[in-house]
Every structure is written in structure tokens, then in C-alpha cells.
Amino acid sequence: MDRREDDENLGGGGGDIEHDGGGGGVGGYLYERRDSNASSFWDREGGAVREPLLNLRSRVNTTSQIAIVGAKVYPIESLDYEIFENELIKQDWRTRKRIEIFQYVFLKWTLALLIGLFTGVVGFFNNLAVENIAGVKLLITSNLMLKEKYYQAFAAFAGINMILAVSAAALCAFIAPAAAGSGIPEVKAYLNGVDAHSILAPSTLFVKIFGSIFGVAAGLVVGKEGPMVHTGACIANLLGQGGSRKYRLTWKWLRFFKNDRDRRDLITCGAAAGVAAAFRAPVGGVLFALEEAASWWRSALLWRTFFTTAVVAVVLRSFISFCRNGNCGLFGQGGLIMFDVNSEIPAYNTPDLLAVILIGVLGGLLGSLYNYLVDKVLRTYSFINERGPAFKILLVIAISLLTSCCAYGLPWIAQCTPCPTDSDKECPTIGRSGNYKNFQCQPGHYNDLASLFLNTNDDAIRNLFSSGNKNEFHITTLFIFFTGIYFLGIITYGIAVPSGLFIPVILAGASYGRLVGRLMGSFSSLDVGLFALLGAASFLGGTMRMTVSLCVILLELTNDLLMLPLVMLVLLISKTVADCFNKGVYDQIVKLKGLPYLEAHGEPYMRHLSAGDVCSGPLIVFSSVEKVGNIMHALTMTRHNGFPVVDEPPFVEAPELSGLVLRSHLLVLLQRKKFTKNRVLSGSELLTVFHAFDFAKPGSGKGLKVEDLDLSEEEMEMYVDLHPVTNTSPYMVADTMSLAKAAVLFRELGLRHLCVVPKTPGRPPIVGILTRHDFMPEHVLGLYPQIAHQK
């Protein structure tokens, strides 16, 4: 621990390192204070900042930036959920009128309403489009098969699939690479405070909507719920930004929402609305947002989220009752309609419970294997995807072809089954939907594997959940389908198409469950449809690791509360089993993407370190009345987002920490050029020039940059008073504070910067600044490798 001793004496360090991926990093840049006329505390101290820079150079935080996938694509920025307390904002609050508070509340609810409305509409449109496109495709194929033109049928089937898949891939590759994949990990990271570039941009929204439609309609083993969550979040973000600066009225009303905190709340609502729209599960949506998406939660948000999902439910219901009259083309039952599982559950006995436990354990094992394989596949694909759009599209073509071959080829293995005589359903069916696909069979027979493969994913799930006819699917059929979907699902995630994970997992789980149910046939009295549901639950628990939200989503999907205890049991078992092996799939992807996600709990070894121990990098400090040139220099040469401000003599007796100033606020301040020739306090004048909303957070990509500033040599030599834009109440910890406790503070309050102050009197008033990256295990273990060895 000799290194620790060093740090304690050294008293320097602490940088806010959020470099752009392509920017080369701040690592080697050494900033020296150039304040020439003020006899600074630091100078008196003997250059504590200047001297040990060579030591510090090796300690600059870069480790947590090592992402395996996509690191070079997205510049990552932290969000700031702290309530800001600078003079301007304080003034603004003081003068805020009752009417403005009313505006705020009114607007908050209006935005929630609009998010629900738009997400509901998009969700329904998505479903409608998929049903119609896939319906036409299946109709063409089955008509050709009816004429026994089997090769033409395959050509048509595979061709349409490929065109759709390539369209989706092209959108993704050329317009918005951020739209590929599920989107839930990115939303989760955003709500944790990590803003990856253009993840919620309008182009991403556009590609997510249409890419998802094409991808699902192309018959790929992908779902629409992840993309719907991302879509909901994008819609919420766009609405929160509110048009553009052109429309002055909109902008003025929306200025209250121009901060990270309110935007986070909106996006939570959006994520909940997305789940509600994808599954028509309003309560499940709220719980999903609570359990999986959000990192911070409060009761007021619960209510607002609930309202949003209620709106989604109403919108969907209206559309469905409109479509019931046949106004929507080939829109059949869709994925929005609840699956009806037989609700008559006999009083289950011990063998049944054993079967259920078996399903849970196996589901947990298979689920964690799924996560493991997805991880491996993603790492492999990242090599291909990084080579450029053409390679991305080639990969999609390959997967699409493979999927088409499986879907069209495998049913030929299955034998034809005579139609059941007592069923009231049509058998065999030729058209778009139905349980009993004719495929190549003679009349009066059906191909059970085709009923699963040559269908939309939603219909396949509905078929698997169907109860009553126990022998509808053969054991071999279920086994082939399960194996096929399990591996297709794994290799499909990661291609450049918006792809949800829920539906593949439910499909694989339901076929696995039904398979177990068939095998158990003589032991258990439970229905095979119920087995399919439990299988789906076990897979979901094994991959996603959610509990309450999955339980409620499944119940809302199937509309049967009597199965609750069994579903709960299966979820608990499979999650417990799977947790022994690896993390949930979304956490895994967040890690893989290199997003600096802040866990709810610090690592145990953090108890042995103090906050001062992890402060790294040279510290840049501004005086409260600082020379413009110094500020410009610091802004240009570093990418730090927050700088400590220190009150120095002659304004105070001894140097003391004034607060923290943000890069974005400095830029606004410098842009107006309200400088003074001499080093004097001019804060009160500045207060009259600026309004609080001048400092509001701009929409994505619209912020000021250092390059936008154009200052003359003369101006560079002038002074500016930083008091009005300084957050005078930053949260702070002593440098001897346990790192674990500092991490709790940082995480629970959703901070972006945490000031570390010296405990011992007589030292410079600030030791360093901790940011999100300083709490990342990679960074801490990089500084103290011996801890990693001890573990």
C-alpha cells in the first residue's frame, strides 16, 4: 500500500475525463496555472499541482474507456441529475411566478400524454405494417406451394425476406448505426446517466421504427419490444426538446425541461410506454421501467409512468376495435392481442411441482448459456461490423438466407399429421394465419413444423401457447423448432438490424416448455399450453433476470391470474440458477459496449480505499475572477466538463472553494463577452445580462463548442467573474472518506462531479474531482492492481 501513502502527501489529482472516443484523450496534457498576478495558494504551497505531474501522467483514467463493441463509434458523456444552485438559477427560482409553476405541472402531464399517444400510435402502426407485409409474403409463398411450385415458392419467400432484411440493414448502416440492436441497454445506460452520441436522435428514431418493421417482417428471429422501448425513449426525448429554437413559444414553455433531470423522467415514461405498446401490458410497462430501465426512481414518477401507459392502452384499444371491422388489410390477431391460455388449471400436485421446478432449473441453465453465447457472437460480429456498412449488410444477407433456409427447409423433415376431427378451427389452413398449416401435405393433413416456422413470430407464440389439443405438435417437431430458434436467435442478435430479444427468448422458451410438457405427458396433469408459458417464463428469467415485471407482463399477455404462483416460482428458480453463472443479458451488453454504467452498490474492495486514493490526472482550477485566456486555454486543451472555482485573495482572506463551474456554462458566459479590464467582481452586472434559461441544456448536438467562440487577443487578457455561473453548493467529500461511501453518495444523488476536499486544514481547498469514471472498477483496479490480485 505504499502507493496510497504517496497520494495522501501529494494532494493533487482529480480530472473529469470524458474524452470523445476519437479525440485522442487528455492523458498527456499538462496544464499549468498561468495566473501571473495573483499570488496563488498553489504557488505558495510549492507547486503541489505542478511537480508530480510525471507521476500522474501514468495514472490518467483511460481503462474504463476500453469498450469491446462500438467504443469507437459513440462519444460518451455523463448526465447531470444534480439540482443546480448557481446565482442565476437561484434568482430564477425566486422570481418564478405561480403561473410558471402551473405551466410546469401542466406541461409535465401534457408531455406524458403525448408520449403515450405517439408511442401507442407507433406501436400499433408497427404491428399493422408487420402483419400486412408478412401476410402478403406468406400468402404468395403458400399460393405457389399450392400449385406445387416448391422452388419458386422458396425463391419468393427467401427473396422477399432478403429484400426486407437488406432494407433494414441499409437504414441502420447508412443512416443511424445507433439504431441497431435492442436499444434497451442504451436506454438503461441513459437512465443511469450515460449519454452515448445520437442514441436518442431523430434519425435513430426513424431507423428504429422502419428498421424494426422490415426486420420483423423479414422473418428474422428478432422481436419488436426492445426497439419499441428505444422508440418510446426517442419520442420522449424529441418531445422534451420541443421543436427547435425557431418556434419561440414552444421553446419558452419547454425551458423548464431543458435539464438532464427532467429529461430523464420523460425518457423513463417513454421506456414504459414502449413496453406497454409492444405487449399491450400497461402495468408490465411501468414495472419494466422500474425494475430494469431506471436507476433512480421516485413515487411521483410511478404515477406519471402509469398515466403514460394507460394512454397507450387506450390508444391501442381504440385502434384494435377500429381494425376489428376489417379496415386494416391483413391485420389478423397481431402481437397486441392477448394470448389465451386455457385458464382451467387443475389443483396441481407434487409431480407437477417437480416438473415446474425442473423447468425452472433447466430454463435457468439454458438462459445463462444463451447469454454466454450472445456475448461470444457479439464479440465476433463486432470485427465484421467495424469494417464498414457493406460488411454489415453482407452479414445481414447471410443471416437472412440462413433463416429462410431453416424456415422453409426444416418443415420438410416433419411428417404430415391428419387434422383433428373435433377441432372447431379451420384445418388445414393455406392463408396467412391459423394453427394448422397445410404446407406440402395432402388435403386433410397439416405440417406442424410449418405452423411454427412459416408464420409471424407472434402467431408462432400463440400456437405454442394454445391449449386443449395436446398432440397438436409432435415431440420431434418441438425439438427441431426449439433447437433452430435457440441458435437462430443467438446468431441474429448483433447484426445491423433493430432487434429485440424478448420474442426470440419467448419463442425458444415456449417450445422448450411445450417439449418438456409432452415428455412429461404421463407424469403431470398440467396442460401443455401452460407448460409452454412456464417454459417461456423460465427462459425470460434466465436471460433477462427480471422478476416482478416479467411476471406481470406474462400475466397481461395471457390474461390469467390463477397461474401466478407457478409463474413466480419458475421465475425465481431460473433467475437464481442463472445468476450463478453470469449477468443479465442487458447488463452484459452495456458492459460490452463500454458504457460506464454505475452499479447500485460499490465493489467490496472500495471499503479499503479512500476518495483521495482514486483522484487522478492533473487538476485544473479557476480563480473566481479568472483571466479569459486561461479559461479558453483550459477549454481548448482539455475535454473536462467541470472545473472547480476557488475564491482567492484579495476577495477573501484565505483561499476557499467557491464551487464548481460547468464547461457549457462557461461557453455561454464567454460568448457574451462581458469582460472587465481589471480583476474585479462584476457578478451583479452579469446577473442582469443573463437569464437562467440561457444556460439551459441544449438539444442533442446543438450545444455551443469552443470552436464557436471568437475572442480577440485583447479580450483574452481581460477578466471575467465566474460567480454567477458557479454552482456554489456542490456536493463534496473529505479525501479520507471511504471510497465505498463516496460511491454511494455519487450514485444515489446522480452526480456528475463530486468535489474532494482536504480533511486536514491548511491545504489547498480542493484535492480533486471525482467523476463517473473514477468509480469504475477498471479504473480503480488499474490504479491498485494488488487489490485485484488479493481478490
User: Binders of its own copies among 574-593, rule CB under 8 A?
Assistant: 575
Q: Which residue matches cell numbers 445507433?
A: 178
Taking the least distance from each CB to its own copies, the nearer of 80 and 556 is 556
90 binds its own copies (CB under 8 A): yes
Site string for its own copies, 632-661 (x = CB under 8 A): --------------------xxxxxx----
Q: Are 277 and 312 in contact (CB under 8 A)?
A: yes
What does residue 195 show for φ and ψ, rounded to 5 degrees? -105, 100
- Report strand pairing: 719-721 vs 625-627: antiparallel
218 binds its own copies (CB under 8 A): no
3-state secondary structure of 494: coil
Of 161 and 574, nearer to its own copies (C-beta) is 574
DSSP state of 773: G
Residues β-bridged to residue 623: 646
User: Which is nearer to its own copies, 290 or 598 (by Cβ)?
Assistant: 290
The nearer residue to its own copies, 116 or 498, going by C-beta atoms, is 116
Q: Which stretch binds its own copies (CB under 8 A): 396-404, 631-639, 673-681, 731-739?
A: 731-739
**What's the closest the beta carbon of residue 733 comes to its own copies, in angstroms?**
8
Report the site for its own copies in 461-520 (rule: CB under 8 A).
Answer: none
Nearer Cβ to its own copies (53/121):
121
Verify binding: residue 38, its own copies, rule CB under 8 A. no
Three-state SS sequence of 42-97: HHHCCCCCCCCHHHHHCCCCCHHHCCCCCCCCCCEEECCCCCCCCHHHHHHHHHCC
Does position 342 interact with its own copies (CB under 8 A)? The reply is no
Among 113, 729, 777, 778, binds its own copies (CB under 8 A): 729
146: its cell numbers: 399450392
* Interface segment toward its own copies; rule CB under 8 A; list 289-297, 408-416, 509-517, 531-539: 289-297
Omega before residue 443 within 30° of 0, cis: no
Angle between helices 150-170 and 98-146 (to 10 degrees): 160
Residue 112 contacts residue 304 (beta carbons within 8 Å):
yes
Residue closest to 335 by CA, chosen among 205, 506, 547? 506
551 makes contact with its own copies (CB under 8 A): yes
Pairing of the two strands 445-447 and 732-734: unpaired
The reply on whether position 523 binds its own copies by CB under 8 A is no
Is 600 a binder of its own copies (CB under 8 A)?
yes
- Number of Cβ within 10 Å of residue 123's Cβ equals 30
Given candidates 163, 419, 706, 734, which one binds its own copies under the rule CB under 8 A?
734
- Judged by CB under 8 A, how many residues of this single chain contact its own copies? 71
Find all residues with CB under 8 Å of 480, minimum gap 6, and list them: 410, 413, 414, 449
346 is a contact residue toward its own copies (CB under 8 A): no
CB of 105 to its own copies, least distance (A): 11
What minimum distance in Å lies between the beta carbon of 552 and its own copies?
6
Residue whose grid cell is 443573463: 690
**Cell numbers 427560482 label which residue?**
93
Interface residues for its own copies in 603-632 (CB under 8 A)? 604, 607-608
Which of 737, 769, 780, 787: binder of its own copies (CB under 8 A)?
A: 737
674 vs 759, beta carbon nearer its own copies: 759
Q: Which stretch binds its own copies (CB under 8 A): 136-144, 420-428, 563-571, 772-780?
A: 563-571
Among 11, 226, 504, 765, binds its own copies (CB under 8 A): 765
Q: Among 429, 469, 476, 738, which residue interacts with its own copies (rule: CB under 8 A)?
A: 738
Using the rule CB under 8 A, which residue among 170, 355, 480, 732 binds its own copies?
A: 732
Binding segment toward its own copies, per CB under 8 A, in 214-222, 224-232, 435-443, 601-609? 601-609
Reported as type and span, the H/E element at residue 755 is strand 754-757
- Among 73, 156, 358, 548, the residue binding its own copies under the rule CB under 8 A is 548
Amino acid symbol at 777: P
Say whether residue 4 binds its own copies (CB under 8 A): no
Question: Considering only residues 247-286, where is the footprint of its own copies by CB under 8 A?
Answer: 282-283, 286
- Residue of 442, 119, 147 lying closest to 311 (CA atoms): 119
Residue closer to its own copies, measured from CB, 20 or 748: 748
Among 559, 636, 684, 688, binds its own copies (CB under 8 A): 559
Asked if 733 touches its own copies (CB under 8 A), the answer is yes
C-alpha 375/C-alpha 400 separation (Å) is 20
| Residue among 56 and 530 whose Cβ is closer to its own copies | 530
Contact present, 82 and 749 (Cβ < 8 Å):
yes
Question: For its own copies, which residue of 365, 736, 778, 781 counts as binding (CB under 8 A)?
Answer: 736
Q: Of 476 and 738, which has the nearer Cβ to its own copies? A: 738
**DSSP calls for 9-47:** HH----------GGG--STT--------SS--HHHHTT-
Q: How far is the CB of 443 from its own copies (least distance, A)?
A: 38
The cell numbers describing 659, all together, are 464551487
Strand arrangement, sheet containing 768-770: 732-734, 754-757, 768-770
Give the residue, chosen from 178, 569, 662, 667, that forms a contact with its own copies under the rule CB under 8 A: 569
Distances (CA, A) of 647 to 227, 660, 765: 49, 11, 9
Residue in 333, 382, 429, 728 binding its own copies, rule: CB under 8 A: 728
Q: Does 105 bind its own copies (CB under 8 A)?
A: no
Q: Residues 115 to 154: which contact its own copies by CB under 8 A? A: none
Residue from 54, 347, 390, 580 that binds its own copies (CB under 8 A)?
Answer: 347
Peptide bond before residue 498 is cis, with ω within 30 degrees of 0: no
Q: Which residue in 28, 421, 762, 791 binds its own copies (CB under 8 A)?
A: 762
Is residue 337 part of the contact set for its own copies (CB under 8 A)?
A: no
d(CA 388, CA 384): 8
Please, what is the minimum distance in Å from the beta carbon of residue 684 to its own copies? 17
Restricting to residues 371-430, which ones interact with its own copies according to CB under 8 A? none
296-335 positions binding its own copies, by CB under 8 A: 297-300, 302-303, 306-307, 310, 313-314, 317, 321
137: cell is 409474403
In the set 1, 689, 749, 788, which binds its own copies (CB under 8 A)? 749
Per DSSP, what are the bridge partners of residue 769? 755
- CA-CA-CA-CA torsion sign (73, 78, 81, 87): negative
Q: Residues with Cβ < 8 Å from 296, sequence gap 6 or more? A: 81, 191, 264, 750
Contact 180, 496 (CB under 8 A): yes
The nearer residue to its own copies, 244 or 786, going by C-beta atoms, is: 786
